[in-house]
Structure 1
């Protein structure tokens, strides 16, 4: 990258209220891509033994090109870094410290999560009471929990953002290089030892590196590069991916590279970020058009609600599809058959519409203002740890009625810890 002063200012926002239209449109497209990708992976069949729910992408060739088009998580974290850095710098200018900033982020992330997980536990209880086989209830809980990894990792990234942004402002290249190098070391250790569990260390290093890349975008450093330099970054990243695929270092299925995360995602993030910068102008102009503007205005205040609720919606639609097939005795097309592909446009339209309707009705939860932030780093740090522990428990143990209740209790504790203490009579008198 070219030498730019560490405190270079971000590109001027292009929307009222200080928002960046290109970033908001990219975020809206990313969240839409996540819903589409997960919807494509839903497979429903009915056999003599009853309904069966499978991952429709298992053993198929189409998941590879689809993952190249829709694996947007690296860009999601880059956008998170851009937005977080921009928001924190504005808050810092108003006198808000890092503790207060992180407390607000915890509230924005965990309050809608508490509602979603509580509702999921209630739905699982209703399924069990209705006599749904226990293995299907367990599978539903497992599928619900799978996308929650993003919530846990994003919470950690945002909790560390003030400290990492200060480090970026002092040593931008060294800070991101250290994270990328740590991710590469983890990959090498996993590949040489065969211990897949080592790869989960990259839940920190890979995604923190992508957030750090977002800081460069917020500084204006990437946009300051020549178009030729940015194009070379894209070409180099894609070439690195091609080499890693052909040499067997990484799977060409980018979905497989997310669990655990691999350094292939770093290359994807670099390519996506450089492409975003190259096409930032056209994206800004596109964002002003009616349909893209409507998508952005819908998704921006509801991004976390859409993410948290899209899987329950997909599971509900899959269950209704199976129930309708059982009641009507109408056969369902075999997964990956020609008939199945013909039904995908309708299925995707239904999935996106249903997710949008649910998000519209539940978005007020995400919009609730955060209470007075605690001025205790210990309280806010505890909140981040407890919130992350709640998500980790669901990922490891799966979601059941019991684990959902425990998670709700932990999330409630985290939210209480992150808020300021209630004003006492003495504080009111001194105010």
Structure 2
């Protein structure tokens, strides 16, 4: 593809001066937590009717405390707000703007997604050609698509970040309050009507509100609060969360609160952010130690690659488990039984190791430097829309050979829209030469996003 051929390797993000190692440590831990949570949900059984793949957490009690420990998505969006605000402000100091930021984010998110989705589509085609049962192929495509909601929502949040950061810089409390109030209003309508579909409006309000919380963290305003205030904020959020569980407003299973998103996630994000701020000092000291430092250096430049590939890896491991059990006729432990639990440490270690082994070489794609971005806000809007549409297609229709191909086309279109047109490149080179010669370029730049 032209996008790949014309790009060159970018320096690793961990080499960028001024990175917050405590944030990077928490991000690495969150990535590992996502893999562990999803690996625990993989259930494989082999019966006379053939292999069966189920969600091992369905109808169990252990998912509730596990979700309290490993529901890290709110913190992901807080960290995304922190990192995005920090990166954009640093770019502004170098004379760049929100247009450059959004173009770079689109490239960084969608290029590895394109490779993953195209590969999965090809694998589904191979399974179909090999005679795999159609229902198992469909199930594999469905399971692969489930975590992709994060990619679509995060892309929208990052595309809007320059605008929302400007609003934060002029009216921080008002902006965050409006977004949080809209999330609460959606929850009230959802609970009052009993129609869960209304809750999907919170795909915008919940996650954007959490991104705004990350801006406060980037400003240093949260760290500037007294320890007592931060402890009270954390306690209040946890207390309200507990009350909502008892009152039946929110499910105590925090994983269930993602689809659709609920205000329980806002409370989780507030609690996590306050606790992170309270523990920032110890986390910074821990991140400075050799072993955690190596983890940070390994995960930080591969975060999106790990996220995109962990589910295909888990699906492959589940398929291999079923195949080995079928060929050898060895019985698999009953899901949620004693032997199943005894095998979980080995299964989790295998899942983490296999994901790391796949992500290590494929991270080169994530590290490819963004080409010169477009200066057109309209083109960037279309690019973000095409990328979001690709993800929505896979989530709504499921991942099949056809939908994967259509999604890949949409992602290619998004990446090309985010690039500067060839004629624009020539005008920019002419402008650069004019500046070197001491004259001013005659072209009028487009208005920046932020």
State whether TM-score is above 0.5.
yes
- Structure 1 equivalent of residue 306 of structure 2: 306
> How many equivalent residue pairs?
418
Does 2:410 align with 1:407?
no
Assess, with a 3 A threshold, how the Cα gap between structure 1 residues 15 and 123 changes in structure 2: closer, same or farther: closer
> What is the aligned-residue RMSD (CA, Å)?
1.2
- Structure 1 equivalent of residue 286 of structure 2: 286
User: 1:427 offset after TM fit, Å?
Assistant: 5.8
Show CA shifts across 1:80-127 (max 9, x none): 000000000011111112111100000000000000000000010111
Matches within 5 A, 1:214-233: 214-233=214-233
Give 3-state SS (helix, strand or coil) of 1:54's partner.
strand
Counterpart Cα distance in 2 of 1:155 and 1:191 = 28
Matches within 5 A, 1:9-88: 17-88=17-88
Show CA shifts across 1:211-246 (max 9, x none): 000000000000000000000011101100110000
Show CA shifts across 1:184-221 (max 9, x none): 00000001111110000000000000000000000000
- Structure 1 equivalent of residue 130 of structure 2: 130
Gap regions ≥5 residues in structure 1: 1-13
Counterpart Cα distance in 1 of 2:429 and 2:146 = 45
Give 3-state SS (helix, strand or coil) of 2:369's partner.
coil
Counterpart Cα distance in 1 of 2:426 and 2:265 = 53
Give 3-state SS (helix, strand or coil) of 1:336's partner.
coil
Runs of 4+ in 1 over 4 A off after TM superposition: 423-430
Give 3-state SS (helix, strand or coil) of 1:43's partner.
strand
Assess, with a 3 A threshold, how the Cα gap between structure 1 residues 372 and 426 changes in structure 2: closer, same or farther: closer
Counterpart Cα distance in 2 of 1:427 and 1:290 = 45
- Structure 2 equivalent of residue 342 of structure 1: 342
- Structure 2 equivalent of residue 4 of structure 1: none
Gap regions ≥5 residues in structure 2: 1-13, 434-450
Counterpart Cα distance in 2 of 1:75 and 1:232 = 18
Give 3-state SS (helix, strand or coil) of 2:44's partner.
strand
Further displaced range: 285-294 or 108-117: 285-294
- Structure 1 equivalent of residue 445 of structure 2: none
Counterpart Cα distance in 2 of 1:185 and 1:230 = 26
Counterpart Cα distance in 1 of 2:172 and 2:325 = 57
- Structure 2 equivalent of residue 201 of structure 1: 201
Give 3-state SS (helix, strand or coil) of 1:18's partner.
coil
- Structure 2 equivalent of residue 252 of structure 1: 252
User: 1:425 offset after TM fit, Å?
Assistant: 6.0
Counterpart Cα distance in 1 of 2:212 and 2:203 = 14
- Structure 1 equivalent of residue 321 of structure 2: 321
- Structure 2 equivalent of residue 119 of structure 1: 119
- Is 1:15–1:21's contact at 8 Å kept on the other side of the alignment? no
Counterpart Cα distance in 1 of 2:386 and 2:98 = 19
Matches within 5 A, 1:359-378: 359-378=359-378
Give 3-state SS (helix, strand or coil) of 1:51's partner.
strand
User: 1:290 offset after TM fit, Å?
Assistant: 1.9
- Is 1:325–1:332's contact at 8 Å kept on the other side of the alignment? yes
Give 3-state SS (helix, strand or coil) of 2:17's partner.
helix
TM-score by length of 2: 0.92
- Is 1:238–1:267's contact at 8 Å kept on the other side of the alignment? yes
User: 1:16 offset after TM fit, Å?
Assistant: 6.4
Counterpart Cα distance in 1 of 2:269 and 2:427 = 51
TM-score by length of 1: 0.96
- Structure 2 equivalent of residue 3 of structure 1: none
Matches within 5 A, 1:101-250: 101-250=101-250
Counterpart Cα distance in 2 of 1:426 and 1:116 = 35
Counterpart Cα distance in 1 of 2:273 and 2:367 = 28
Counterpart Cα distance in 2 of 1:427 and 1:72 = 42
Matches within 5 A, 1:91-102: 91-102=91-102
- Structure 1 equivalent of residue 5 of structure 2: none
Counterpart Cα distance in 2 of 1:49 and 1:408 = 35
Give 3-state SS (helix, strand or coil) of 2:54's partner.
strand
- Structure 1 equivalent of residue 447 of structure 2: none
Assess, with a 3 A threshold, how the Cα gap between structure 1 residues 24 and 425 changes in structure 2: closer, same or farther: closer
Show CA shifts across 1:300-350 (max 9, x none): 000000000000000000000000000000000010000000000000000
Counterpart Cα distance in 2 of 1:71 and 1:33 = 8
Give 3-state SS (helix, strand or coil) of 2:422's partner.
coil
